Amino acid sequence: MTGTLINVATVLIGSIIGIIIHSKMPKRFVTVVFQAIALFTVFLGFSMALKTSNFILIVLSLVIGSVIGELLNLESSIDKFGNFLKKKIRTKSEKFSEGFTTAFLLYCMGSMTIVGAIEEGLGGDNELLLIKSLMDGVSSIALASALGIGVAFSVIPLLIYQGGITLFAAYLGDFFTTIMIDELTAVGGILMIGLGISILEIKKIKVINMIPSLIIIVILVYIFLD
């Protein structure tokens, strides 16, 4: 899990730099940075979503996953966890939970996360995760400058999610096929589009409640396409 640990470190370093910038940045600059990040999130989401050619499975995974997430009320649980962390570190950041969830989704939904973690788990090099670490470190500066300290705490779910994929791949070998990775990336891209729309305050979308879709699409691909 060397690649994931390096990724965590770069996000923390970038977040610290961003927090320092945030404290000195006028509100109007924070707002425009926030909007720029949201637009990039939508763009990245579309580029990822276009990887699919199995639209029925994507729709099924989103519908089933969203229903499961709503039943479990994942968004409420994440908000409570974010508020718990906020109280523990005694911060007054108004966007703590938003920074926490936004950074987590940005750092974990991309194909580089999935492919890089699988490559490392299968005993390959961690070059892809090192590249991702550099990118995440730079983006965390912009994120933390707009959203504050919550971005730094996104390393907790990042470590669990990305590290978990690495360990999963290490034990189960070639379970993740190319088509499975493409469909998983596509679902992640759609969730990122929803995240961007929420950040822009166009419409509040319960993206966190849709996260089980990532598990459902793996199951559907395994059953119908593998």
pLDDT band at 5 (very low <50, low <70, confident <90, very high): very high
pLDDT in tens, 79-119: 888 888 888 887 777 778 888 888 988 888 777 888 889 88
pLDDT at 183: 92
**Tokens 């991702």 — which residue?**
132
Q: Centre a 10 Å sphere on the Cβ of residue 171 and count the other Cβ atoms it contains.
A: 9
Domain span at 148: 2-224
Q: What Cα–Cα distance (Å) separates residue 100 from each residue in 7, 25, 55, 151?
A: 16, 20, 30, 5
| Tally of structural domains, the chain | 1
pLDDT band at 17 (very low <50, low <70, confident <90, very high): very high
Tokens standing for residue 13: 């370093």
* Contact residues for 96 (Cβ-Cβ < 8 A; gap 6+): 82, 83, 85, 86, 148, 149, 150, 153
